Amino acid sequence: MSATTLTARAVLLDMDGTLVNSDAVVERVWRRWAARHSLDPTNVLSVVHGRQGHLSMAMLLPERPVEENLAENATMLAEESSDVEGVVAVPGAPALLEALVGAPHALVTSADDTLARVRMGAAGLPLPPLLITAELVAASKPDPEGFLMAASQLGVDPAECLVLEDSEAGIIAGLAAGMRVLGVGPRAAAFGPTHHAPDLTGITVEYVPGGGISLTVPHPAVP
């Protein structure tokens, strides 16, 4: 089977759906929310992946005041942080994070700091040395701010960063930042990432002289 090699100077990793499979928790929490607001849960779940909760609420309840969305989002974050049933690592994530130790890489997530640490811990995954979480940005994905902030703090040009993402909002954000995006998982293929892989299994990391990183995806990373 052919493979694809992608080179970069920094790797920027989304969390939910990319490193951590938290779909079970997300579905439980948002299905309850949909029921409370008499909304179609299927439509709700088609919106919420990759975004901060209050922005999803604003899309789903456009007439509701921002203050109500922020308050309810805080409640839901607490719910999500206390529910780790079914939270597991995406196949290949432990090996990839281990291979990236010592290389410039960051977690860029729409979760807040508490939720990011809870979910990574529940999945048995180490935290990257740099975390860009919801509290640190003024604008959430699909805005590119988080990815650009990570690149700046790592001292790497955005064009030399490789983003790993699963959601529409995250893929849009990565591309808007001027970065290449490896879409990960079944959701990602439909949203136009630069390349796509079914999961992280078998991805290997090598270091290129001069500080580069080479990721080889064992299955073809389909454009």
Over residues 25-72, the pLDDT tens digits come to 988 988 999 999 999 999 998 888 778 888 889 999 999 999 999 999
Q: What is the pLDDT of residue 122?
A: 97
pLDDT over threshold 90, residue 99: yes
pLDDT over threshold 70, residue 82: yes
3-state helix, strand, coil split of the chain in percent (to 5) is 40, 20, 40
Name the pTM for this structure. 0.88
- Give percent of the chain with pLDDT exceeding 90: 78
Length of the chain: 223
Mean predicted confidence (pLDDT) in 110-138: 96
pLDDT band at residue 127 using 50, 70 and 90 as cut-offs = very high
Q: What is the pLDDT of residue 223?
A: 61
Q: What is the pLDDT of residue 77?
A: 86
Q: Which residues are catalytic?
A: 14, 16
pLDDT band at residue 220 using 50, 70 and 90 as cut-offs = low
Mean predicted confidence (pLDDT) in 63-88: 91
Greatest alpha-carbon span in the chain: 57
- Could you tell me if 147 and 179 are in contact, meaning their C-beta atoms sit under 8 angstroms apart? yes
Mean predicted confidence (pLDDT) in 106-119: 95
Angle at alpha carbon of residue 131, lines to 72 and 142, rounded to 5°: 60
Mean predicted confidence (pLDDT) in 8-28: 94
